[in-house]
Structure 1
């Protein structure tokens, strides 16, 4: 059995790679820089690679299953809920208004999915993180993944309440994966709970956590392989749904998702335990605010810069990523670091510690969100 509470710096690095991949997909493929021409017009070669950045979301969910098992194991239901709220809400409460302000000052009305600047009422509802189930327009389209995450947290919270043990988690993971296969014939509300499109990733992450905390067994290996095989079909379906204006082969996506399974399996089994690059913890800490800020804020900045300077996409994309990373560091340093412990203390009903940990200090929670 390996230490399941040691910070895994490789996971931090993998999280940032996923966030950058998603940003590459959004900036290079999923919108039109000038509002008219398709992505391939501005990035004729890069767009054929950046298109596969959408898989960053799938890998995020794979990581999430792994680290939520790590961070939730041995906690009470209240401790688990408080930890998740303190992790998610401080940055979210700042990034949502920032996005709303930027898109109102620099609106992008063509070439994107979301064109209308959010109203104050929509912003207020979005701050609850429940805008999607309430039917309120999202301030930024990427928030859909947070609703997926919240449903996973609710499912895992049931295990925490019941008492998470090896047998219970393994049985629940098996039942969840099996039930997700029958989602098309189940009532809609059941499918909403089961998250069938992404269940294989969350389940695989939980299985890898069990392998790390206890030991690999034949059943766990079989369950992991089943998750991988189902994920190949899910990814194939996702590729088929893409409409970037050019042909997208499925085989690179299958290779990428397979590589993600292999890499996280290696991490879970201890291949990177001796990796002690604490700067990767900072990189991992930037992932969540970067993910929240990058789409609509990035679109607004790039469209304004393109109109003002005529700079090409090959320049605007990396510069915008650098700018948003800088803003993400500010959110992490001046919002998450001081206010996450404060919120945790308030929700726990205890006084906040005066010592704010360095972003490079090891932590058990390496959540991708």
Structure 2
């Protein structure tokens, strides 16, 4: 299977994960948090919460691939910022406005908190609420990016086995110490070291190594260790979904899931980031409003889903793409105007 095909399939897989998360949030999670007006609301999409695990595995693969292509830690940081911030900042503003005009007080944050959310660093500040609950995953992703940036800074990014084994060992130690002592300090360390999710990123990184170098035993051993980690520090159910995602990745790399390259799935993969950013709280406002008018049947869930997809496409088409193109062009022009050799002479 060609590289282009393979990346298209993985991108489509991200779209499927986003759809699963949306269905979970609009049914099971909404019902648990607010309670649907209709009793016995469909609870079939409980598995959608595991879509986040798939996001992290995909990030491990895609981001490590990006790390192998960039020229420096600053190059990586700038390109990641260009990729993430335009759509994110627009989504924060849009969500804040919509939620602020609703009756759902539990979802609201102050204007100052919204401004802090614009930085994507809100979870690093005590007492700052999120404009949208799904933003918690962005802190995890940002921490992973910082770790990758540090590797680039010290020229260690290519040593994938040393990197993953060191990270894995550190995560195990953090988890064991927390379970043994269970203090506020150990909780903070576990939280901000992303020890609870490190094995997901490591699995993705191992799949990148498999894609690059073939099915070597050492890569599969690390993936197996990650599954054991999942069982021991999370749950068997968690590990079963991890195994499912591992199986899907194997099939993709072996060229057995070519149907994922269909235009529909690729479309969802393309808008997966903005749809993830805007679907939850805005969707909750719509669901709450519809149910206040007596529109309580599950079929009406198609309304917030459809609106989320339309908003996401609009953000992708009119915010994300134009902003990224302009910023990438500006960055390239400045980088070419001041090449590394010239900067060293200054």
Q: Under a length normalisation based on structure 1, what TM-score does the superposition of the two structures give?
A: 0.80
- Per the alignment, do residues 173 and 87 of structure 1 end up closer, same or farther by CA in structure 2, a change over 3 Å counting? same
1:29 is paired with a residue of what secondary structure? helix
CA distance in 1, matches of 2:134, 2:289: 21
Counterpart position of 1:210:
209
Counterpart position of 2:120:
129
Counterpart position of 2:310:
326
Counterpart position of 1:361:
none
Question: Which digits, 9 at most, give the CA deviation of each residue in 1:104-133, with x for residues without a partner?
Answer: 112313xxxxx1522221111000000110
Is 1:225 aligned to residue 224 of structure 2? yes
Counterpart position of 1:260:
245
CA distance in 2, matches of 1:294, 1:212: 33
Is the 8 Å Cα contact of residues 9 and 280 (structure 1) preserved in structure 2?
no
- Greater Cα offset, 296-305 or 11-20: 11-20
CA distance in 1, matches of 2:189, 2:34: 39
2:30 is paired with a residue of what secondary structure? coil
Is the 8 Å Cα contact of residues 4 and 213 (structure 1) preserved in structure 2?
no
CA distance in 1, matches of 2:32, 2:291: 8
Is 1:57 aligned to residue 52 of structure 2? yes
Long gaps (5+) in structure 2: 179-184, 337-346
- Per the alignment, do residues 79 and 36 of structure 1 end up closer, same or farther by CA in structure 2, a change over 3 Å counting? closer
Is the 8 Å Cα contact of residues 132 and 147 (structure 1) preserved in structure 2?
yes
Counterpart position of 1:153:
145
CA distance in 1, matches of 2:234, 2:254: 25
Written as runs of structure 1 = structure 2, the 5 A alignment for 1:136-175 is 136-164=128-156, 166=158, 168-175=159-166
Counterpart position of 2:78:
82
Written as runs of structure 1 = structure 2, the 5 A alignment for 1:1-369 is 8-32=7-31, 35-36=34-35, 41-43=39-41, 46-47=42-43, 49-75=44-70, 76-109=72-105, 115-135=106-126, 136-164=128-156, 166=158, 168-184=159-175, 185=177, 188=186, 190-236=189-235, 251=237, 254-272=239-257, 276-308=261-293, 310-350=294-334
Is the 8 Å Cα contact of residues 289 and 328 (structure 1) preserved in structure 2?
yes
CA distance in 1, matches of 2:191, 2:79: 24
Q: CA deviation at 1:284?
A: 1.0
**Alpha carbon RMSD of aligned pairs, Å?**
2.7
- Per the alignment, do residues 233 and 294 of structure 1 end up closer, same or farther by CA in structure 2, a change over 3 Å counting? farther
Q: Under a length normalisation based on structure 2, what TM-score does the superposition of the two structures give?
A: 0.85
CA distance in 2, matches of 1:279, 1:30: 26
CA distance in 1, matches of 2:284, 2:87: 20
CA distance in 1, matches of 2:202, 2:285: 37
Q: CA deviation at 1:271?
A: 4.0
- Select the structure that is richer in helix: 2
Q: CA deviation at 1:318?
A: 2.1
Q: CA deviation at 1:190?
A: 4.7
- Per the alignment, do residues 33 and 300 of structure 1 end up closer, same or farther by CA in structure 2, a change over 3 Å counting? farther
- Greater Cα offset, 4-13 or 71-80: 4-13
